[in-house]
């Protein structure tokens, strides 16, 4: 028997919005020391042997952020970049814990964000970093997540990426789509992937081999006798559902 868990970590956080790190060059890109270490692991082929997935990782990781709300931490996806700021999608179960959040981008820079709304039906919410808090250096390193327009097909390879919460590069996994199926806990059809996931990965992204977004990680299936609450089958909300919920939110705010 299995049950669904929702992946968010709760802990005591000391927030620093002026994070500074050492940076280096990787394939012409400016990356942090932690990322340089991780990418060197990828180059060795010990974690991502498929070259295409390495490229997908380098594209997709730029749209993934760490989200800290009150005493909990998870992940989020950069949904929209404009002159007004940066909108980030994450899970409602994380964002409902406060009205403010701390965001850490892939280059290590941090900023505060306002939680701007949630879905009324699904585990989706949105927050925004004001444009005045977005530095040129942040903009040089980030991308909007690009949802795929293709059909979700069982068996296609996927890459799951969340925020790097530990600094040792254990924030991603690879696998394949199992199926699209209704999940009562989330009140909708979800993408079931044969991919490892754990606490803190909630709000991260599921990407195809081209780096395009398929969905947002929201939980996983864990055997009831498992000693460690880590999932081998992950559950993600489809990107199309997130897009529709954002349109509803913007329409209501307008």
Q: How far apart are CA 245 and CA 122, in angstroms?
A: 9
Helix 33-44 / helix 51-60 crossing angle, nearest 10 deg: 160
- Over residues 192-201, the mean pLDDT reads 87
Is it the case that residue 54 has pLDDT exceeding 90?
no
Closest CA to 172 of 148, 151, 197: 197
What are the helix (H) ranges across the chain? 33-44, 51-60, 92-95, 136-141, 239-253
Q: For residues 66 and 72, what is the distance between their CA atoms, to the nearest angstrom?
A: 11
Closest C-alpha to 196, from 163, 159, 145, 168: 159
Confidence of residue 149 (pLDDT cuts 50, 70, 90): confident
Mean pLDDT throughout 229-246? 91
The model's pTM: 0.80
Q: What is the dihedral of CA 169, 175, 180, 182, to 10 degrees?
A: -50
- pLDDT at site 26: 29
What is the structure's pLDDT at 47? 55
CA distance linking residue 203 with residue 201, whole number of Å: 6
Most confident of 12-21, 36-45, 163-172: 163-172
pLDDT band at 38 (very low <50, low <70, confident <90, very high): very low
Closest CA to 85 of 62, 103, 108, 61: 103
223/131: higher pLDDT: 131
| Structural tokens at position 155 | 């068996």
Output the CA torsion 109→111→116→119 (10° steps).
30
Question: Would you state the pLDDT for residue 171?
Answer: 83
For the stretch 60-69, pLDDT in tens is: 999 999 999 9
Model confidence pLDDT, tens digit, residues 80-106: 999 999 999 999 999 999 999 999 999
Q: How far apart are CA 234 and CA 221, in angstroms?
A: 6
pLDDT of the residue at 65 = 96
pLDDT of residue 81: 97
Task: Tell me what pLDDT residue 102 has.
Answer: 97
pLDDT at 25: 34
Question: DSSP state, 122?
Answer: S
Residues in the chain, how many?
254
Q: Write out pLDDT tens, residues 155-184.
A: 999 999 999 877 666 688 899 999 999 999
Q: Which of 70-79, 205-214, 227-236 has the lowest mean pLDDT?
A: 227-236
Contacts of residue 146, defined as CB under 8 A and 6 or more positions apart, other chains included, come to: 63, 211, 212, 213
Helix (H, G, I), strand (E, B) or coil at 104: strand
Q: Which residues contact 118 (CB under 8 A, 6 or more apart)?
A: 92, 95, 96, 124, 125, 126
Question: Is pLDDT at 190 greater than 70 in this prediction?
Answer: yes
């Amino acid at each position: 028997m299995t049950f669904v868990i929702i992946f968010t970590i709760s802990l005591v956080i000391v927030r620093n919005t002026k994070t500074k790190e050492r940076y280096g060059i990787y394939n012409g890109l400016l990356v942090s020391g932690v990322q340089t270490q991780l990418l060197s692991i990828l180059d060795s082929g010990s974690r991502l042997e498929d070259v295409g997935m390495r490229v997908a990782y380098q594209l997709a990781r730029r749209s993934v952020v760490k989200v800290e709300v009150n005493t909990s931490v998870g992940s989020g996806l950069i949904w929209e970049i404009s002159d007004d700021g940066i909108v980030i999608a994450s899970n409602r179960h994380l964002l409902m814990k406060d009205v403010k959040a701390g965001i850490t981008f892939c280059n290590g820079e941090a900023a505060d964000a306002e939680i701007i709304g949630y879905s009324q039906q699904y585990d989706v919410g949105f927050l925004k970093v004001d444009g005045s808090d977005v530095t040129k250096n942040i903009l040089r390193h980030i991308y909007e997540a690009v949802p795929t327009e293709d059909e979700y097909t069982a068996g296609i390879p996927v890459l799951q990426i969340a925020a790097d919460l530990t600094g040792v590069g254990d924030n991603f996994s690879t696998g394949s789509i199992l199926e699209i199926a209704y999940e009562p806990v989330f009140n909708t059809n979800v993408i079931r992937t044969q991919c490892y996931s754990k606490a803190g990965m909630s709000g991260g992204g599921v990407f195809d081999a081209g780096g395009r977004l398929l969905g947002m990680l929201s939980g996983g299936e864990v055997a009831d006798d498992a000693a460690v609450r880590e999932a081998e089958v992950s559950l993600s909300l489809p990107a199309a559902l997130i897009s529709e919920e954002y349109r509803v939110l913007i329409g209501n705010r307008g």
